[in-house]
Amino acid sequence: MNFSESWPMWIQSPIYIGFFGLFLAAFFYMRILALPQGNETMVRIAGYIREGAMAYLFRQYISLTIYAVVVFIAIFFALGKEAAVAFLFGAFLSLLAGYMGMKAATHANVRTTEAAKEQGKGGALLTALDGGAVMGLSVAALGLIGLGSIYLMFKESELLSTVIHSFAVGASSIALFARIGGGIYTKAADVGSDIAGKVIENIPEDDPRNPGVIADNVGDNVGDVAGMGADIYESMIAAIVAAMAIAITSNAKQLNYVLVGNSEFEANKWAAIALPLILSALGLAVSVICIFIARAMKNMNPATVLRGSLILPPLLLAIVSYLVMNILAVTQAVTAIIAIGAIGGALIGLVTDYYTSSTPVAKIAQASITGAGTNLIRGLAVGMESTAIPLIIVVIVAYLSNKYLGLYGIALSAVGMLGGTAVIMTVDAYGPISDNAGGISEMSGLGPEVRNITDELDAVGNTTAAIGKGFAIGSAVLTVVALFSAYNMEVAHVREANNLPPLSLNITEPNILIGILLGSILPFLVSSTTMLAVGRAAGAIVEEIGRQFREIKGLMELKAEPDTKKIVDIATKAALREMILPGMIAILSPVFVGLLLGPAALAGLLAGSLAVGATMSLFMANAGGAWDNAKKFIEKGKLPGHKKGSDVHKAAVVGDMVGDPFKDTSGPGVAILIKVMSVVSLLIANLVAKL
C-alpha cells in the first residue's frame, strides 16, 4: 500500500483530539465547581436533586451490570473474548459519559440559579452552557477514544469487524435502557406531580409543598442529561461503525475512488475504514471551537447563540474536510457528502422547528378553544404531517451521497451530520440545567426576577433543541439504512466464505415480506409498552402524593416537609422495572427472528421496523413538541381572550400530557429501537448467515 505519508498520524487523531476533549471537559467541570452555590436552602434543595439523580444512576448501573454480564458471557462463547471485551468497553464508556455529564449537570443547576440572581442573563447562560459542555465534550471524546483505540489495536486483525460491532452493541443497548428508563422516570415524575399538584391539589408548578417536585427535577437529569447522553453517544458510535462496517465488507467498485490517484483496492479500503473516525475527530475539534464562540457571545440573544452553535459545526466540518482530504489525497466527494449532510441536517432542524413552534402550534392552540378533543386531533395531524419533509430530505441526502460513494457515502453523510455531536449534546444538557435552575429558584423562593431569567433560558433551550434533533433524526435514519446494508453485505460475505449459495434478498421473497410485517409491529409494541409504563408509574406517584397531602399534617400550610425521597424511590423503581420489557423486545426480536426464520426474514424485519420506526419517531417527537408549545403559547397570553387556567388552557394541558411520553419516552425509544436492532443484527450476522 502506498499513499499520503501523513495517514499514520491522522489515524491517531481520534485519540489525541479525544483526550483533548476530555481535558476541556475536566476544565469546565472545575470551573463549575469553583462557582458560588448560593444560600443554604438552594444548597439543600440542589443536594436533594443530586442525591436522587445519583441514587437512580447507581441503581440503574447495577441493573445494567447484570444485563452486561449476561451478554458478555453470551458473546464470549458465541464470538470470542475480544468481542466480549469490546462489548463491555462500549457499554462502560456509555455509563461513564452519563455519569460525568450528570455529575456536572447536578452541580451546574444551582450555580446557574445563583448566577441568574447575581449576574443576570449572561452569567447564567454561561454557567448552564459550561455545565452542558462537560456532558457534550465527554460524550464525543469518550466515543472517539473508545472506538479509536479499538481501531488502532485491531486495524490489521481479522477481528476488526466483530469487535467494532460488539462495541456498538454495548453502546446501543446501554443507550436503549438509559433512554427508556430515563424517559419513563422523567415523564412519570413530571406527569405524576403535575396531575397531583396542579390539577388535584391546585398548587403551582415546582411548589415546595409538592412531594413530587424533587423527583421531577431529578427526572430532568436522569432523562434529559444521562439518558440523552447515552443516546447521542450511541448515535455517534453507530454512524461511525456503520461506515466502517460497509468499508470492511465492501468489495464494491465505489471504494476504489476514495483515494485520488491510487486504484489499489486494499489501500482504498484501508482509507475508507479509517476515514469516518478521522472525520468524527475533526468534528470534535470544530465543535470545541464552536463552544468557545458561543461562550464569547454570552451577552447576545441566547436563541441566536444556541441556534448558531448548532448549525455551525457541520458546515465548519465541511470546510476543514476540504483541507484535510487534500492532505490525505482523498476524493473531495467526501467533502461534498459532508456538506450535503450538514445542509440536510440543518434543513430537517428548521422543519422540525417550524412544526413545533410556528403556525402549526398556533393552530393547535386555536383548536383548544373547542376543547381537548379538537386540540388532540389537530396535534396528532400536525405530528403525522411533520414526518413527510424530513424524510424526503433524508431521501435526497441518501440519494446524492449514494451517487458519490454508494452505500459508503450514505453512511458518511450520517457521520457528517453528527459532526457537531459535542455541541448538540451541550445544548441538550443545557436545557435541563436551566430547567432545574428554575425549579431551584422557585423552591428556594427567590422571586419572579430570577425565575424569569431561568425561564427564558429554558424556553430557548427547548426551541433550539429542535435543530439538534434535526441532525439526530436525520443521522439516525441514514445510519440505520447504512447498518442495514452492512448487515446484508456481511451475510452475503459469510455465505460466500462458507461456500453457501447466495441468499435471495429479493423484496418479493415470502420470507422478506413476512419479516417486513413482523418488523412493522415492533415500534408500535415499544411505544405501547413505554406509554403504559409512564401511565402506570405516574398513577403510582399521583396516589402517593395524594396520600402525603392527606396524612402529613400541616403539609399544605408549609408547616411540615413532604417526603420527597419516597417519590424519588417510586419513580426509580418503576423506571428500572418498566425498562426491561421494551428493552428486551428490541434486543431479542432480531435474535429470535434471525435464528428461527433465517437471515432473509431478519433483513425484512429490519426494513419493516425502519419504515415504521422512522415515521413513528418523527410523528411522536414532533406532535409532543407541538402540544407542549401550544400549551405555552396560551400561557404566554398569545391566544387572545384565553389565558392560563382557562378551560381552553386546560384543554391544551391535556394535549401536553399526551405529548410528554410521546416526545420524551416513546419517540426517542423507537428511534433507538431501530438502531439497536440493526447493530444486534450486524453482530449476529455471522451466526445467522449460515442458516
445: exposed, middle or buried (Cβ count in 10 Å: 0-12, 13-18, 19+): exposed
Residue 14 or 409 having the CB closest to its own copies: 409
CB-CB contact of 211 with 560 (8 Å): no
Residue 74 or 596 having the CB closest to its own copies: 596
Report the C-alpha gap between 429 and 426 in whole angstroms.
5
Residue 136 or 383 having the CB closest to its own copies: 383
Q: Name 509's Cβ contacts closer than 8 Å, sequence gap at least 6.
A: 600
Q: How far is the CB of 275 from its own copies (least distance, A)?
A: 20
Q: Annotate each residue in 644-673 with x if it binds its own copies (CB under 8 A) or - if it does not, as one string.
A: ---------xx--xx--x------------
Q: Is 615 in the site for its own copies (CB under 8 A)?
A: yes
Q: How far is the CB of 430 from its own copies (least distance, A)?
A: 28
Q: How far is the CB of 640 from its own copies (least distance, A)?
A: 18
Residue 96 or 389 having the CB closest to its own copies: 389
Q: What does the DSSP 8-state code read for residue 65?
A: H
Among 188, 614, 630, 680, binds its own copies (CB under 8 A): 614
Q: How far is the CB of 481 from its own copies (least distance, A)?
A: 6
Report the C-alpha gap between 32 and 115 in whole angstroms.
11
CB-CB contact of 348 with 394 (8 Å): yes
Residue 267 or 372 having the CB closest to its own copies: 372
Q: Is 228 in the site for its own copies (CB under 8 A)?
A: no
532: exposed, middle or buried (Cβ count in 10 Å: 0-12, 13-18, 19+): middle
Interface of this chain with its own copies, residues 51 to 110, rule: CB under 8 A = none
Type and span of the H or E element at 514: helix 510-551
Interface of this chain with its own copies, residues 196 to 215, rule: CB under 8 A = 199
Q: How far is the CB of 685 from its own copies (least distance, A)?
A: 13
Interface of this chain with its own copies, residues 348 to 387, rule: CB under 8 A = 367, 370-374, 376-378, 380-382, 384-385, 387
Interface of this chain with its own copies, residues 29 to 48, rule: CB under 8 A = none
Measure the N-to-C terminal CA separation of the chain; round to a whole number of Å.
Answer: 37
Interface of this chain with its own copies, residues 504 to 543, rule: CB under 8 A = 505-508, 510, 512-514, 516-521, 524-525, 527-529, 531-532, 534-535, 538-539, 542
Residue 509 or 569 having the CB closest to its own copies: 509
Q: How far is the CB of 505 from its own copies (least distance, A)?
A: 5
Q: Residue 689's closest CA among 517, 480, 505, 478?
A: 505
Q: How many residues bind its own copies (CB under 8 A)?
A: 76
Q: How far is the CB of 255 from its own copies (least distance, A)?
A: 15
Residue 51 or 201 having the CB closest to its own copies: 201
Q: What is the 3-state secondary structure (H, E, C) of 71-120?
A: HHHHHHHHHCHHHHHHHHHHHHHHHHHHHHHHHHHHHHHHHHHHHHHHCC
Q: Residue 286's closest CA among 319, 255, 308, 241?
A: 319
Report the C-alpha gap between 517 and 596 in whole angstroms.
16
Q: Residue 172's closest CA among 519, 680, 588?
A: 680
Residue 174 or 593 having the CB closest to its own copies: 593
Q: How far is the CB of 9 from its own copies (least distance, A)?
A: 34
Residue 96 or 381 having the CB closest to its own copies: 381
Q: What does the DSSP 8-state code read for residue 330?
A: B
Q: Is 595 in the site for its own copies (CB under 8 A)?
A: no
Residue 60 or 529 having the CB closest to its own copies: 529
Interface of this chain with its own copies, residues 391 to 450, rule: CB under 8 A = 391-392, 394-395, 398-399, 402, 406-407, 410
Q: How far is the CB of 347 from its own copies (least distance, A)?
A: 16
Residue 250 or 421 having the CB closest to its own copies: 250
Interface of this chain with its own copies, residues 475 to 504, rule: CB under 8 A = 477, 481, 484-485, 488-489
Give the position of cell 452475503. Answer: 492
Report the C-alpha gap between 91 and 10 in whole angstroms.
26
Cell of 668: 426517542
Interface of this chain with its own copies, residues 150 to 179, rule: CB under 8 A = none
Give the three-state DSSP class for 259.
strand
Count how many Cα atoms sit within 13 Å of the Cα of residue 234 in the half-sphere of its side chain. Answer: 36
Distance of CA 252 to the CA centre of its chain: 32
- From residue 208, give the alpha-carbon distance in Å to each of 369, 538, 555: 32, 19, 10
Residue 55 or 585 having the CB closest to its own copies: 585
Among 18, 314, 431, 604, binds its own copies (CB under 8 A): 604
